[in-house]
Amino acid sequence: MKRYKWMTLGLGMALMLSLAACSQQEAEETASPTPDPTATPVQEEVVESPAVSAEPGLEEAEESQETLTLTASFQDEAGAALAGATVRFTVGDTEAEYLTGEDGALTVASLPLTGTVEVALLDDEGTETATATLELTQGSVTDVTEGEDGAWLVTLLTDADTLSLSFVQTDAGALTCALDLDEAA
């Protein structure tokens, strides 16, 4: 009798383990995939700067590539905030447009830590009125200088993931660029 008890118990345990394994496999097959943060359009991550276009954002960086969140303020030469201005950010073949808030500021996530970022202010017809080229690199300090070719050389502190810049639209159709010291503190 003892022998049958152990055999029954053993068969019962084997059946339970088989059912548990099957239900776990089924759960893995039917579970929703975890959202990929790099697949979220930048427009959803923008603070006070809704996207103007329905194009995908600048988030197409590879999952292993680290990204930068840029907070930028835009003003004219007299110091007035460019509220409701359309700004286009271009990285490689990817571009996205954003509106500045009432204070002339916007935030863009998922920019590359190194490489070239084109920034353009657009008028109501979508024509570029002022542009700047940012050359992003990493180093031992965070700094912004104007290069000989007119590009803005932005050095990010190694391991930095945020940057605050101030842009001024000149009457000559350029965007000057500087660190936003109010945000950097």
pLDDT digit string (tens) for 148-162? 888 999 999 888 899
Lowest mean pLDDT, pick from 45-49, 162-166, 181-185: 45-49
Residue 112 binned pLDDT confidence (cut-offs 50, 70, 90): very high
Query: Torsion over CA of 149, 182, 42 and 111, rounded to 10 degrees?
Result: 40
Please identify which residue in the block is written with the tokens 């292993």: 64
Higher per-residue confidence, 125 vs 36: 125
Given a contact cutoff of 8 angstroms between Cβ atoms, the answer to whether 85 and 121 are in contact is: yes
pLDDT digit string (tens) for 52-66? 443 444 544 444 468
Residues 6+ apart with CB under 8 A from 64: none
pLDDT digit string (tens) for 54-107? 344 454 444 446 889 999 999 999 999 999 999 999 999 999 999 999 999 999
Please identify which residue in the block is written with the tokens 């029954």: 8
Helices (H), the chain: 2-30, 42-45, 181-184
Question: What local confidence, expressed as pLDDT, does residue 104 receive?
Answer: 96
Q: Is residue 4 predicted with pLDDT exceeding 60?
A: no
Q: Can you give the pTM of this predicted structure? A: 0.65
Nearest to 88 by CA among 113, 137, 52, 63: 52
